[in-house]
Structure 1
Amino acid sequence: MFKKITIQADERGLLFRRGSYLKVLQPGVYRLAPWSEDKVEIVSIMKPFVLPEKELSLFTHDSELLRELEVVQVEDHEYVLRFEDGKFAGLLTPGSYAFWQVLKKHTFVRADIRQPELPSGVNAAVRTKLAPYCQIFEVGHHETGALYYNHELQQELKPGKYYFWKGPVAVSVKTVDLRQLQLDMTGQEMMTEDKVTLRLNFVCQYRIVQPLRVLAIKSFEEQLYIQLQLILREYVGTLKLDELLRMKQELAAFALTRLNEKSEEIGAVFLTAGVKDIILPGEVKDILNTVLLAEKKAQATVITRREETASTRSLLNTAKLMDENQTLYRLKELEFLEKICEKIGTISLTGGNNLLEQLNTLLGEKKTG
């Protein structure tokens, strides 16, 4: 009895005789005799052309089959992006592939991974699906980036997201922060001209303006710190302690000027600088406190004597006026009498005189010579 084989419209049959491929069978109904050594493999044309344990090269001699297939050879230095009807369907790594060009239209984009940057025609939605095959670098909105191939500088990168193939070329991106930055020097020991050792806290703000020059300097922040340290030592070493304490603002201005003299060399411009603290040794601090206390006491003594002199002079002037004016003298007596009465709870009168006469007796009369 004949064996009936039906091939649907979305299928193709591959006819084998004694294990060797013979030809492709189009949709239809076929019958094989029971004693026939032929065998038919039915494959879907909706899927890539793949037969387990069969090499693609076994089928490439069939011109009829090749009219319906798209054969893609991917070299060792390539990736191939496959699209079905314009939609991304996958990425092909080195090897041989075949796809049916019947019900679907397959297109391919080749990428030479010796050139690490992804082709410009690959949109952002597709790039996210290529993550296993790519290196992804991001440059923030406040940064600039430097692109290196095999540690060799290629170009400066603006803010954005960048994709590069994982391949024979080593890709790296270094970023530089373009925001205002701060350099803190804390507890730096220095010696003044009069051999006083102190600790200085200093701060300065700066902004990087030439990123590539900064990247060319190894340990940029460390070298910047050393430059600031040397500048401050140069200034502090020329001043006595009293002068330094008096000229803190001049120290900041000097450091800012000297740093900006090197801005072209190091690729950064310095905006502000200032002394946060000058920390003195304990014994020096005690001496200064003693001196300050003595100065304040001397100032207080001078002020006290000045006030006593002014008070004495005022009393003398008042006495002269009262001596020259009898009425003023009597008013002053009444003023003092009023103050005395404010502190007295009760007044007892004795004798027969009236109140006014007794008060006159109490006060007495000013004798005239």
Structure 2
Amino acid sequence: MIFRKRIVIADNERGLLFRDRQLTEILTAGVYQFWDFENRIKVRVFDVTATEITQKDIKALFRNKNSLAEEHYTVINTDENEVALIYVDGQFVDLMKPQSEKWFWNTAAKVEVRRINVTEQIEVSNKDINVLAKAAKASVLSKGLVIKEVVNQQVGLLFIDGKLERVLKAGKYGFWNFNQTVTVEIVETRAQQLEVAGQEILTKDKVSLRVNLSATFKVEDAVKAVTELANYKEFLYNELQLSLRKAIGTKVLDVLLADKEAIDTFVKAIVAKKVAEFGLRLIEVGVKDIILPKYIKQPIISLAA
């Protein structure tokens, strides 16, 4: 009949029935018929397969008509120190950050929530790290989760709001980064090389040399090296540079060229003692080459062999 309206709601749908633009009924799966002589009835149909309600106008409407709609939806909220992991039918679907809200249709799908207080439990379990690392919500995770892997012969230093909290051994770690600043600095404890290249230095008899120096060192106390120095590599570089200038600036050219190994010994003796105070061990120092000025008409003296 022309004045009779037939409405079909599928198993995966919900229908919002409006009469004179007012929500009067929420329709579940089924076939409905209504008399509508003046075209006063409208129905908005929603696919509830995705479970989550994302439309802002529907949320506002349900709030205003809560007595009518409350059995059809569930609201999940998190407080200022809480995150929530959302699972639908046992599968992780989303991470809720602190002070957020999500709405879900009440369907046959089972929605489960696992809440975590990120102030009391800052470290993320290995199981959750694996789940969250694969999550599609990368923008939330990149801001709210720090994941670091410390491999053998490395240590990790965990800082919370700028304060050192823990030293991390080899392993994979995750930390919540909401309402606090979490950083993990990875420190290499294997032997490393540092090049001090192209230093222009005057000898005692005012000959300008270019000297390339190589050093091998290890970080033996990562806490000291990182917390007591702004940049331990830069500190070591500067100390090598200064000591090299002293070693060359106190001798005339002929003496330097006659006993080139004395430069290495001098530099290492001074620098090794100083950097040891900050958890660094200087293993070896070697001048790679000395480049003489053109007017002396001698080739580069290589010390690499």
TM bucket normalised to smaller: 0.5 to 0.7
Normalized per residue, the structure richer in helix is 1
Residue 140 of structure 1 deviates from its aligned partner by 6.5
Change (3 A) 1:164 1:128: farther
Corresponding residue to 2:76 among 47, 72, 78: 72
Task: Quote the offset at 1:104 in angstroms.
Answer: 1.0
Q: 2:270 aligns to what SS in structure 1? A: helix
Letter in 2 for 1:213: K
TM-superposed deviation, 1:164 = 6.0
- String of CA shifts for 1:285-321, please: whole Å, max 9, x gaps: 89xxxxxxxxxxxxxxxxxxxxxxxxxxxxxxxxxxx
Q: Distance in 2 between matches of 1:282 and 1:101?
A: 85
* Equivalent position of 2:140 in the other structure: 133
Structure with higher Rg: it is: 1
- 1:58 maps to what in 2? 64
Q: Which amino acid aligns with 1:183?
A: L
Q: Is the 8 A contact 1:133 1:165 kept in 2?
A: no
- Asked whether the equivalents of residues 134 and 165 of structure 1 are also in contact (C-alpha less than 8 Å), the reply is no
Deviation of the 1:156 alpha carbon? 4.0
Counterpart of 1:362 in structure 2 is none
Task: State the match for 1:33 in structure 2.
Answer: 35
2:286 is aligned to: 274
Indicate if the aligned counterparts of 1:183 and 1:203 stay in contact, CA closer than 8 A.
yes
For residues 8 and 226 of structure 1, the distance between their equivalents in structure 2, rounded to whole angstroms, comes to 74
**Structure 1 regions of 5+ residues with no counterpart?**
287-369
Deviation at 1:106, TM superposition (A): 0.9
The one-letter code of the counterpart of 2:73 is L
For residues 319-334 of structure 1, the aligned pairs below 5 Å read none
| Deviation of 1:180 (Å) | 2.3
2:128 paired residue among 122, 125, 130: 122
Equivalent residue letter for 2:35: A
Give the Cα separation in 2 of the matches to 1:163 and 1:103.
34
Change (3 A) 1:99 1:275: closer
Does 2:114 align with 1:109?
yes
Q: CA separation in 2, counterparts of 1:118 and 1:21?
A: 46
Larger fraction in strand:
2
CA RMSD of aligned residues (A): 4.2
Counterpart of 1:33, as a letter, is W
> Is the 1:138–1:159 Cα contact (8 Å) retained in structure 2?
no
The gaps in structure 2 that reach 5 residues or longer are 299-305
The question of 1:204 aligning with 2:209 is answered no
2:93 corresponds to 1:89: yes
Match of 2:303 in 1: none
Aligned to 1:183: 194
Residues in 2 aligned to 1:228 and 1:103: alpha-carbon distance in whole angstroms = 70
Deviation at 1:82, TM superposition (A): 2.4
* 1:272 Cα deviation from its structure 2 partner: 1.4
CA separation of 1:18 and 1:113: change in aligned 2, threshold 3 A: farther
- The one-letter code matched in structure 1 to 2:87 is F
Q: Match of 1:34, as an amino acid?
A: D
- The offset of 1:105, in angstroms, is 0.6
Q: Which residue is 2:270 aligned to?
A: 258
SS at match of 2:235: helix
SS in 1 for 2:52: coil
SS in structure 2 of the partner of residue 252 of structure 1: helix
Report how far residue 270 of structure 1 moved.
Answer: 1.2
Higher alpha-carbon deviation: 223-232 or 165-174: 165-174
Cα contact 1:116–1:167 (8 A) shared by 2: no
| TM-score between both structures, scaled by the size of structure 2 | 0.68
Distance 1:45 1:284 in 2: 86
CA contact (8 A) 1:15 1:21 kept: yes
Q: Equivalent residues in 2 for 1:217-232 (5 A)?
A: 217-232=229-244
* Separation in 2, partners of 1:282, 1:95: 71
Larger RCO, structure (CA 8 Å, separation 6 or more) = 2
Aligned-partner Cα distance in 2 for 1:108–1:89: 11
Q: 1:28 to 1:232 in 2, by over 3 A?
A: closer
Task: Tell me, in whole angstroms, the C-alpha distance in 2 between the residues paired with 1:226 and 1:50.
Answer: 57
